[in-house]
Structure formats: C-alpha cells, structure tokens
Structure 1
Amino acid sequence: MNRSANPCDGALAQWCERWQFHPDGESTIVAVAFSGGADSTAVLLAAHRRWPGRVVALHIHHGLQVAADDFVRHVRQVCGQLGVELLVEHVQAHAGPGESPEDAARRARYAALSRMASAASVSCVLLGQHADDQAETVVLALSRGSGLPGMAGMSERFVREGASFGRPVLAVPGSALRSWLDEAGQTYVDDPTNADERFTRNRIRGRLMPAWAEVAPGYCEALARSARHAAQAQALLDELADLDLAHLGCPPRIRELQSLNRNRQGNALRRWLKQGWGVAPSEVQLRELLHQVGACRTRGHRIDLKIANGRITREGDRLDYAPPI
C-alpha cells in the first residue's frame, strides 16, 4: 500500500505543528475514534504511520442498527492487520426532553470516548471529520439562525469531559479520502444511516450540497474559510468577555454589569454561562435576561429566568445560576 499518498498524512503533520502536538516517550498513547468508515480509516492509517506502536483505536457500538455488529467485526479485522489495539464500548443513547436522536447519539458517543480515553491514559483522541462535514455543520448552523459559535463550525482541537480531542483533517475533502482508500485497496464500511433523510444533516448532504456544488464548485473551501473567519471573530469576543468578567466578577455583579453597553453585557453573560455550566441562552432568553438586569435598580428587585435546564436568579448584588439538580 502506498501510504505516502494518504492525504491525511500531510494534514496530520500540519495539525501537529499548528497545535504543537508532539507526544514524547514511547509510552505516550494517541487514540483514533474508529467507526470503520472511510474518514476514520484514513485517519487511523495516518496516525499508525506517524506513531507506530503508540496508537489505540476506540470504537463505539451504538446498538441502533443491525449492522453495528458487522462494524465491530470489520474494525477488529482492520486493527488486527495493523497490529493496533482496539477498545470497544457499547452505548445506548436516549434522547432527553427537547433533544434530537442525533444530539443524544453524539452526546453518548463523546461521553464514551472520554471514558475510554481516560481509562487508556490517552493524550488525545483524533476524529475523522473532514471538509465536507465542516461545510454541512456551517450550513446547519446557518439554517438554525446560529451566531458566531455555530458559524465557526467544528474546532480543530477541544476538550470535552476531561479528554482532549483533535480534528486534523477538517481541510481535506471527503472525496479525497475515499479516492485514496479505493486506489490503495483499503476496505471501509458505509453506515446506512448516513443516507436516512429523516435526519436534517443527511437531507443537507443529499439534497442541498449537490445543488450547491453545481452552482458554486468551490463552496466547500469557501464555507471552511468563512468558518475560520467566524472562529477568529468569536475568539476576540471571548477575550473581551474575559476582560469584562475580570472586572464584573464570577458570578457577575449586577451594578458593574449595568455599566457596560447592552452588547457587552450579552457577550459577558454568554461567556459566564458557557464557561461555568456549558449552557447557552437562546436569543429570546438573553433578551429577557438583559431586560431584567437593566430593570434591577432597587434592593428588593427580583431576577428569575429559565436558561437551558437551570435558572438565573439574583443573589444579593450578583447574578446566580442554578443548574438542574
């Protein structure tokens, strides 16, 4: 197999340089979230080539379809051929109130990957999302009226539930990964649920993206560029919010919060809620919160508003957020 042609090789090397990810020592382990699909297969081969003997594959068995058992057999075969250790965990994703099956499956998957990474003392879990996935994410965010965080798409590196994750191939088109695997004779599986148009992302992939590609062939790269611009703008807003919160305190003091203009108030409150509890208020909720903060001019004035599954209230001269018990 001519692995030097794997487009993930160069992308992974560049990602490592950008994020200064240089695992030291023979005992350092890097993981790949390995579904058996084309994208994660290409990433696993690139990681195995870069760190031979120091890569572990993590596979999540969702139990949502009959083919899941076949996926496990396939990933065992691939990992056996490579000499890569494989860890498998079964999960059952149940959607909570107001949560879609897609979001529930994603939440369960990341929770399982985080547990597996911690148990295996993994330094970072590499994911296989590529440029097409990034474009779909941006379009999905736009269709929902998301702000800059949504328009920024998926980040190249992030931490979730104590585990570090990386997406080294966000700039690589999915077609390039599949073409290389096909030419190299490397087998991979196709998840039949990817064509199930009951899911919004699949409808975007199957209907909207082909039409967009016909009208504007470079749309995928353009959306990725827009996502990077949005991420840069959001980073600046986060820096401003951190400066404001250093003055306001955490939790923020109401009087000092009122001294800021409305846009900076909203920016600081979003940051406070995101950092402290990982929640984001809707546009309507934030507007009402800013109204209540602005009207809070007397000692006995009450603030009480539902945000996500918790509540923001007034405690003395400060705001307080109480997550659900």
Structure 2
Amino acid sequence: MNPIHDPGRSSSAAPPVVRRDDLAALPMLAGHTRVAVAYSGGHDSTVLMHATCLWAAARGAQVHALHVQHGLSPHAAHWEAHCAAQVDGWTRIARVSLHIRRLALVVPPGASLEAHARAARYAALADMAREAGCDTVLLAHHLDDQVETFLLQALRGAGPAGLSAMPVDIRRDGLRWVRPWLDRPRVELAAHREAHGLSHIEDDSNADPRLARNRLRLLVLPALRAAFPQADETLSACVRQVQDARVCVDALARIDLEGLRDVDGGPALSVSQLLELAPARQRHALRRWLIERSGHAPSQALLMRLSTEVEHAPDGRWQGRGGLVHAHRGRLAWVAETGRCPAPPTCRVSLRPGRHPVPDWGGVLVIEPVLRGGISQVGGDMVELRPRQGGEQFQSHPQGVPRSLKKQFQDAGVPSWARAAPLVWRDGLLVQVEGLGVDARARVRDGEPQWSLRWEAGEQAVAGR
C-alpha cells in the first residue's frame, strides 16, 4: 500500500533537519528487553514502530506491535492486512511480532462513540501487552496532538485534570504507558518517514468535520499558527505548568480529605470540617472523595452545588454519576445506585476471613479476625444475608433490651438511605446490622477467637477497587 499523505499540519518552510535515526533514541526504555507499541498503521504509529525496531535492533530487544481493529470502518480488514505486511518486513530489522485484537463495539445509548472506542482500545492494548509479557506500552502522540488535546479540553471547560492533557509517562492498569515524542512536532515524524520511505494508511475519518478534533486540526489550528507562529511551543509550556499545578492541587486535596474523614476511618465526611475550608479547597477535596467512592470524576456543576448548598441543606441529596451524595446529622455520605431489585434474595456466605462479593446485593461482606466486639469463631460456619422483613429486634448493649430496628436506627442516627444493607443471621439469630454493629447477644468476651463483619456497598466494592 502506498503512503497516503494526510491533510494535517503543513508549512511552506523546510522540515527540520533530523538525523536519519534521531527518533530512535528512546532513553526511557533503558534496561528493557521487550516493549509493546500501539500500532494502528497510521502515519504516527508507523514512524514509532519503525523507530522502536531500530532501537531494538541495536540492543537485541523484542518489539510487540499491538493492533486494535474497532470494526467501525469498511477498510478495517485492509488496514489489518497492511499492518501484518509491514511487521513482516520489519522482521529484517529486529525481533518483532504482531498482535491483533478485533472488537465488536456496542455503544450504550447516549454515550460518545469516540470515548467508548477509546476506552475499549486502551483495554485491548492493556490485555495484549500483558499477554505478550510487556510492562511498557509506547504511544505515538506528539507535540501537535498535545496542543490539540489542551485546546479541546479548554473549549470543554475542563479543570486542571483535563488541561493537563496527556502525560509523557504514566502507570495505569499495572502497565507503564509512555509517549516519547510529546515534545516533538509532527513534521519531525514526517521527515523520518520520508527518509526511510515508510508506507502508512490514512483513516478516512480524519477528514470528517463532524468530529471536534478534526475541526480544530483542519480549520482552527492553521489560522492560529499563522497568526502566532510560536503557538505550539507556548501552549505546550502551558500544559507543563498545568501538570505541575495539578500535582500540587492533588497533594493538598489528599491532606484536606484526611482531615474530613470520620475518626473511625469510615467513608463519610464531616460537614463542619468541610465548611472550614475555602470553597476552592472544598471542591478539590470533594472531587477526590467522589472519585474514590464512585470511580468517576464528578461534574463541576455538582461540586459547585455541594460547596454552596451543603451548609444550608442538613438533610440534602445531590445526584451524581452512579449514585447520590447524602447529608445527614453533619456527615456527607456517598450511596451508590446498585441497580438491584428492592428485596434481593437470602444469600449464604462462608464464615471465613476475606472479602466475599455478593452480586445479588451489590456489595461485599468483609470478615476479619478481631480481639473484641465480634461474633464467635466457634459455631456455624455460614452466615445468611437477608432483607428486612419487619419485626426484627436488635439489642445494642448487654444491659439494654431488644428493640425494633427502626427505633435503634433512629437512636443511632442512621439515616433511612443507609439502612438498605442486608441483615446478617447465623444459626437462626440476627447477629449483625450495618450501622448498628453486632447484636449484644451475639458478642463474645474480649480475647476469645472472634470475627468482625462489615458490609461495603456499590460496584466499586464488588470490583475490589
């Protein structure tokens, strides 16, 4: 297949002088004997694959080309064949092999095709890299891509996380993802491709003006660069400053969040201590907390509402992605939407230490050995998780008397939305209620072998994150 020159960045000036194999200098790979490269067959990934093969040839290293076929283009099979032919030719340079993952994308209603395809692509790349025994994946993003990402995020109203654009080197999903050319303009890659006569494919969707990045690349950036010749270098410097600022902001948010947590280390936050922080620090601490609890970055609108409304809504509720933020008795809690039916069935769980996922209930029962306040390790080796039926009674302390769960919840200040956890029964007796603890009649004396029981709700708990 002949090279296809895309309509990307162009200049009437001569391309920079680049030594023949200048781009093959990859110091971040020192000590590696194998490396994976995300290889689509396009211009940039073709140059990266070739440069990595040159790097590997000088060191006897193994290169694994990872190709993801999304199945979205009628030309996908031809692109796959092109990549296979290219890799076969590069075996004359270095030890290189091709790995292919074909996807059958089903985009959820209302979801972004671009975002869904990107997430699926990275998941496929990660799987293939692990299967190939690689801990590092190279990505071919360059300076022009970084500038585009920064401007797109700015136009979307992003905060420090979005404006940080793409990191040069990051660990995610147990892998190291490296972009070695984020400070190199695309014309340098083009010079390398032309010097080596490399063939590449061109995705016809790159000319589709319906995609925001294409509109920016084809219509906006040429005019911006004509008016401000140093735009790329200046905007890249802005990205580096935002990345530094984000590190500082995240560090402060971690410190603030530790001061807001319940004294017992629970997941709720103190409203009074939150209000002692300046509004900007409140929002950053809440953002980090919600990412921890829900696994998703909250919208700026939700953070603004929380920082302005919590003080005046002691029993407020705020909808977030995948759940609700609840205020009750001076505490903020996140309650995930599990999508389960109101009354899940009774489930049996083995009474042994560890985390025991209970998908029907959308959570995990955590069992751990303790020295006091638990149930005996001697007796039935199973517990049952049951929904509330009405009429259950709980005894909070040895000198007390059994009372209805509703009354005990009210006295303990457990809000109604936090009473949905399953009741834990053993040998026909109610032994533990989340929010109230272990029934006094089931507790054993301090020092005897005993278990603590704790319920963690939500998809994040089930996934162990």
Q: Which amino acid aligns with 2:80?
A: V
Is the CA contact (8 Å cut-off) linking 2:293 and 2:334 kept in structure 1? no
TM-aligned CA deviation for residue 169 of structure 1:
0.9
Report the equivalent of 1:304: 317
Aligned mates of 2:174, 2:274 — CA distance in 1: 31
Does 1:319 pair with 2:319? no
Aligned mates of 2:335, 2:49 — CA distance in 1: 42
2:153 to 121, 132, 141: 141
Q: Which amino acid aligns with 2:217?
A: R
Q: Which amino acid aligns with 1:268?
A: A
Unmatched tracts of structure 1, length 5 or more:
none
Does 1:82 pair with 2:87? no
> In the superposition, relative to structure 1, how do residues 309 and 30 fare at CA in structure 2: closer, same or farther (>3 Å)?
same
Report the equivalent of 2:136: 124
Structure 1 stretches of at least 4 aligned residues deviating more than 6 Å after TM superposition: none
Aligned mates of 1:57, 1:323 — CA distance in 2: 40
1:220 to 199, 222, 232: 232
Does 1:266 pair with 2:279? no
Q: What are the superposed Cα offsets for residues 141-181 of structure 1, whole Å, 9 maximum, x if unpaired?
A: 11111112222211112334443311111111112111220
Aligned mates of 1:182, 1:275 — CA distance in 2: 47
Once the two structures are aligned, what percentage of the paired residues are identical?
33
Is the CA contact (8 Å cut-off) linking 1:126 and 1:167 kept in structure 2? yes
TM-aligned CA deviation for residue 295 of structure 1:
2.5
Aligned mates of 1:198, 1:128 — CA distance in 2: 24
Aligned mates of 1:235, 1:172 — CA distance in 2: 24
1:280 to 297, 303, 306: 297
TM-aligned CA deviation for residue 118 of structure 1:
2.3
Identify the structure with the greater strand proportion.
2
Aligned mates of 1:220, 1:194 — CA distance in 2: 20
- Trace 1:145-294 onto structure 2 (pairs within 5 A): 145-249=157-261, 250-294=267-311
TM-aligned CA deviation for residue 254 of structure 1:
2.6
TM-aligned CA deviation for residue 133 of structure 1:
0.8
Report the equivalent of 1:295: 312
> In the superposition, relative to structure 1, how do residues 252 and 102 fare at CA in structure 2: closer, same or farther (>3 Å)?
same
Q: How many residues align?
A: 309
Report the equivalent of 1:34: 39
CA RMSD after TM alignment: 2.1
Is the CA contact (8 Å cut-off) linking 2:47 and 2:198 kept in structure 1? no
Q: TM-score under structure 2 normalisation?
A: 0.62
Is the CA contact (8 Å cut-off) linking 1:136 and 1:201 kept in structure 2? yes
TM-aligned CA deviation for residue 307 of structure 1:
1.7
Identify the structure with the greater helix proportion.
1
TM-aligned CA deviation for residue 308 of structure 1:
2.3
Is the CA contact (8 Å cut-off) linking 2:140 and 2:181 kept in structure 1? yes
Q: TM-score under structure 1 normalisation?
A: 0.88
State the secondary structure of the residue aligned to 1:154: coil
Aligned mates of 1:276, 1:82 — CA distance in 2: 47
TM-aligned CA deviation for residue 185 of structure 1:
0.7
> In the superposition, relative to structure 1, how do residues 283 and 8 fare at CA in structure 2: closer, same or farther (>3 Å)?
same
Q: Which has the larger radius of gyration?
A: 2
TM-aligned CA deviation for residue 276 of structure 1:
4.6
Q: What are the superposed Cα offsets for residues 196-231 of structure 1, whole Å, 9 maximum, x if unpaired?
A: 111111111110011111111221111111111111
